[in-house]
């Protein structure tokens, strides 16, 4: 069963949240979901862009109390 990993990158500036996501992706299985928590507005735009570019799946983004929650699925 696919797992879900939370990548807590709150407080980190660009490109910290993206790099933390990529490091976490390395240790996940195809089909797993990862939820990045970020307080960096730029990363909320950049991460979905990177995910599309490299062929993973961007599932959702929402903001809650100043924290962006960006959910992606490892697709390959």
Check residue 22 and give left, alpha or beta (phi > 0: left; psi -120 to 50: alpha): alpha
Residues that bind another protein (CB under 8 A): 11-16, 18-19, 22-23, 26, 50, 53-54
**Beta carbon of residue 16, minimum distance to another protein (angstroms, whole number):** 4
Q: For residues 17 and 71, which CB has a smaller minimum distance to another protein in the complex?
A: 17
Distance in angstroms (rounded) separating the CA atoms of residues 67 and 56: 22
14 flagged as catalytic: yes
Select which of 12, 14, 16, 59 is catalytic. 14
CB 56 within 8 A of CB 32: no
Catalytic residues: 14
């Amino acid at each position: 069963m696919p797992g879900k990993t939370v990548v807590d990158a709150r407080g980190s500036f660009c490109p910290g949240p993206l790099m933390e996501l990529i490091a976490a992706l390395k240790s996940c299985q195809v089909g797993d979901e990862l939820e990045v928590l970020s307080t960096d507005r730029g990363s909320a735009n950049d991460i979905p862009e990177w995910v599309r570019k490299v062929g993973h799946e961007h599932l959702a983004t929402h903001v809650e109390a100043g924290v962006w929650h960006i959910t992606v699925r490892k697709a390959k």
